[in-house]
Structure 1
């Protein structure tokens, strides 16, 4: 795969309180709006960007607290930094049991033992910065697989993620309270935040409604795609004349209920990726203006069983960065 120029997008958000019309969102549920100013957002795509180093440096720069929920963790520099940081900050890590190898130990470590996966990949730093996306902090996740890492400085978003982390820390997996600030209105567009499965009926509806409302195009990059309702909506969107492009991880195309063959049979533009490792993204781009990204695969487990998180961000500049990533990967994909 050819080198990819580092993409770093810093957006300054001015959030405001208003009675904004909810019809522009995918969400069918009204929620209170909140204000916040001076938010910074950074976007990185792995492995072209050094995502492991970026996460390690951000954690090293934290002053008071580092709270992370990881499906998997094996980056040595990150583990060393977490140990060092624990001497002068509140460091707490929840790790999925099925991937825990004992490479990090101590009173600040809890192992998520449940019948479903704790599939998150997020950190909350100093109660004001959120790191999330599709990247597990592993050698594969940062250096070999295609992933995205999004960093948002936001008190409201951080509070949402702190609440979720507290549930995980206290052993409450794949359940808990609904997200406090589901919708945050900003001058550049809306941010929606969901945690699965407790919020994901609404989150799933929002995603499907956005596909239904799309006017021009829907681009999907997904590791595992078995979500039949989303497959239905993509077929309908194609019939309406929209430009539909889907990229699926090669090794996942033939799993049970995979939508790959079905969409290909409808002559929808669908390919498998060209990365000899994994294309691990989980994002959708609507009309090159709206991005849905986070930890869940588009599957029943992703929205109904596993502990997951995702964002929907309504911003054209941000969406275009994801379009660039999608176009690069789709260009190296193939129909099989």
Structure 2
């Protein structure tokens, strides 16, 4: 009798173990696919949620290797006005990649973008809206909504006619952001405006980050503008909630004007040990310029490329750097050199919509991403080298060095 009772208890234990095992496996599957850990059973470190397909094109670019058991979580793209410069042919272009991501969206596409005149992208957004995806667009009043009546525009009118809501900031400072959030999981950002010039004439970059945590940071900023109508300094700073780490890569996000972004970038420049490279559409921020000059005097290897237009004015940091002997050049693109990038010690990449100016930092709506990753930095350094080869040294006669 005792033996029979022991067998029954053993059978019950096996059944309980089986139920527990199945429950853990189910929770593990939920965590793997959604990132939700209802019982706190799994590690807190963020891992990638979606693989990146390799794009075979001159623009860009990049599928990083997997880390451990995680999947690839980032992609970097650069415009190439020398070879991909026909808005009628999207093959290999950044808009082609963007449209593919729009086509894959399942639940939501939230856009904060300064200006817009890409009809194929408008068509893709309308198709997404028609299949039930929530599409919302926050833009600038003057360069966005007001410009929609100009020749070659009208894409915002297309969206609104299809039932897609579009809002603008309605103020004198700029809603200069350049980010898109897909399904609350993926963030698209960088310097690239969603225009023909931005993608086919100008030098620009895009970084795509597949991370629910990073997406949450951008969704919060989007809601401040879209729901609360808060812009610039009226937006509350949540900078303490804007950092994470993905597979060992630290990521910090800043928003202007509320986070005083450049005040956070200067310590990164001050902390450089060996090198700084920068690519700048507008670089007029004196404190950031002074930090680079001080680092150059301390022996850090610094060089940079300026958009030619405006680089010789009294406000630009180019004359001071050139006269101090720093290797700086003016870009060689007949269009616009539109990057806003700093690379520190071949590892830290700073990119986004933020020009290195006081207005951008203290008045506009802007976004900045700081990523510490050597593989990503390598790609931005390659872009620097490509653009450096096209750039030219300033004319000493125009610099008026003392």
- TM-score relative to the length of structure 1: 0.88
Aligned counterpart for 1:46 among listed residues 79, 102, 107: 79
Question: Deviation digits for residues 253-293 of structure 1, max 9, x if unmatched?
Answer: 03451111111110111100000001100000001111000
- Give the aligned partner of residue 211 of structure 1: 269
* CA deviations over 1:225-257 (Å, ceiling 9, x no partner): 001011111111111112111100011203451
Kindly state the Cα deviation for residue 205 of structure 1 after the two structures are TM-superposed: 2.9
SS in 1 for 2:231: coil
Q: Which residues in structure 2 correspond to 1:107-186 (within 5 Å)?
A: 107-170=164-227, 171-174=229-232, 175-179=234-238, 181-186=241-246
Where in structure 2 are the equivalents of 1:1-336 lying within 5 Å? 4=58, 6-10=60-64, 12=66, 38=71, 40-47=73-80, 50-87=93-130, 88-99=132-143, 100=145, 101-102=148-149, 103=154, 104-105=156-157, 106=160, 107-170=164-227, 171-174=229-232, 175-179=234-238, 181-200=241-260, 203-336=261-394
Structure with greater contact order relative to length (CA < 8 Å, sep ≥ 6): 1
Change (3 A) 1:275 1:207: same
Return the offset for 1:94. 1.0
The answer on whether the counterparts of 2:284 and 2:357 sit within 8 Å (CA) in structure 1 is: yes
Q: Contact (CA 8 Å) 2:64, 2:72: kept in 1 or not?
A: no
The change in CA–CA distance for 1:12 and 1:183 in structure 2 (over 3 A counts) is farther
Segments of structure 2 that go 5 or more residues without pairing to the other structure are: 1-56, 85-91, 395-402
Q: Higher helix proportion, which one?
A: 2
* SS of equivalent residue, structure 2 residue 241: coil
Structure number with the higher strand fraction is 1
Question: CA offsets, 1:23-44, max 9 Å, x none?
Answer: xxxxxxxxxxxxxx65611100
**C-alpha distance in structure 2 between counterparts of 1:112 and 1:198, whole Å:** 15
Query: What displacement does 1:7 show?
Result: 2.1
* Partners of 2:59 and 2:77 within 8 A in 1: no
Q: Which runs of 5+ in 1 are unaligned?
A: 16-36
Task: Quote the RMSD (CA, aligned, Å).
Answer: 1.9
Q: Is the 8 A contact 1:71 1:121 kept in 2?
A: yes
CA distance in 1, matches of 2:142, 2:171: 10
TM-score by length of structure 2 reads 0.74
Counterpart residue number, 1:33? none
Q: CA deviation at 1:167?
A: 1.4
Shift of 1:4: 4.8
Aligned partners of 2:169 and 2:102: how far apart in 1? Answer: 22
Q: How many angstroms apart in 1 are the aligned matches of 2:59 and 2:216? A: 33
| Cα distance, 1:308–1:14 mapped onto 2, change above 3 Å | farther
Check conservation: 1:39, 1:154, Cα contact below 8 A.
Answer: no
> How far has the Cα of 1:186 moved from its partner?
3.5
Deviation track 1:59-113 (CA, whole Å, cap 9, x = no partner) reads 1210110100110110110011112211121010111111221522325111221
